[in-house]
Amino acid sequence: MKKIITLLCVLAMATAVLTACNTNTASSGADGSGVLSNAPTASGSSGTGDGAGSGDASSAGTGDGTASGDQNTGNSSTVAGQNASGSGNISGGGEIAGEVVVAPEDAGKTIINPVIERVLAVSTLYVAVDNDYIYYIDRNDEHIYRVKHDGSGEEKLTDDTVSWLRLTENGKLDYATNIDTGAKYYTMNTDGSGKVDNNRTLIDYYVDDVTGPDGMVYYFMTEFESGAAKSGIYKRSAGSEESTGTLVYEGNVHSFCIVDNYIIASVNRSECQSLFRINLDGTNETMITDYNGVSPVVNGDYVYFVNQSDDYSVFRMNKAAIEK
């Protein structure tokens, strides 16, 4: 059984990184962000949800979403609706409003730099997407909402105060309540019905399984947990215990998903959280964008993520731009 000190250490690290990211005092000038992915509908992701989307990312750059020269990420698409606090539109498109923070250890590194576009102007920490809806935790009231891709039909799905969610491979929503309400881990239908208590605590979701194309199970563990000498992404054979896994990638990972032969991870750096593409064997770590992003999810041709540099709005990018 995981001890409470494990949870406190993880939350302390996450809080420190989020505080640093919120300063947004440095700007590097490269526009772009996202996460790689494949999958017709829900593909595996850890710490977040699974993505979906339709349409075409068409900001400045080439037709496949690769940036050429200076990017203008303005986009004509608009998601109109009412936000979770009931004030105004949930509108996509437009210029990216925020600045970025690049950690000193990443300064001067190659950045893939794909074109990105804002699709949902809500402030959230986690997002999940399927073919019909975008699901998110509103940072103001901490409830889960869903809205259709055209911005209509917004609904509140739970009155619980929530700190994390993801869309499962079987089309359910997993979520964890805040620590001050017990850090409970629940599953419910995507319309908010059928809530089930999983009898697990908050810390457990950091190690949810993601099955890779090689049939191996990938998961995150911290150095404070039994069987983990270092914090990072581990892999093990299906059906085996977490403690038997092998370290694939060392790092304090916020969330990740697997696409084709890549891991897309939001990694806690010294001053921010950054998105990286990593081979399944842990090699070839490449920064995707210098915008600070978390909660990478995918469906179809697009990868969705939360852009911390733009007031935690929901963005997407064409996955083909990352696969090059």
Give the C-alpha separation, 169 to 42, whole Å. 5
Give the C-alpha separation, 305 to 312, whole Å. 9
Give the C-alpha separation, 314 to 259, whole Å. 20
Domain with 50, as residue range(s), is: 4-323
Q: What's the domain count of the chain?
A: 1
Instruction: Output the pLDDT for position 98.
Output: 67
Residues of the chain with pLDDT under 50: 1-44, 48-89, 205-207
pLDDT tens sequence across 82-94? 343 333 346 566 6
Using the Cα atoms of residue 304, residue 182, residue 17 and residue 27 in order, give the sign of their dihedral. positive
Instruction: Output the pLDDT for position 189.
Output: 98
Buried b (16+ CB within 10 A) or exposed e, 286-300: ebbbbbbbbbbbbbb
pLDDT tens sequence across 216-236? 999 888 777 766 778 899 999
What CATH number does the domain containing 38 carry?
Answer: 2.120.10
Instruction: Output the pLDDT for position 203.
Output: 55
Instruction: Output the pLDDT for position 272.
Output: 86
pLDDT tens sequence across 155-207? 999 999 999 898 988 899 999 998 888 889 999 999 999 999 988 876 554 44
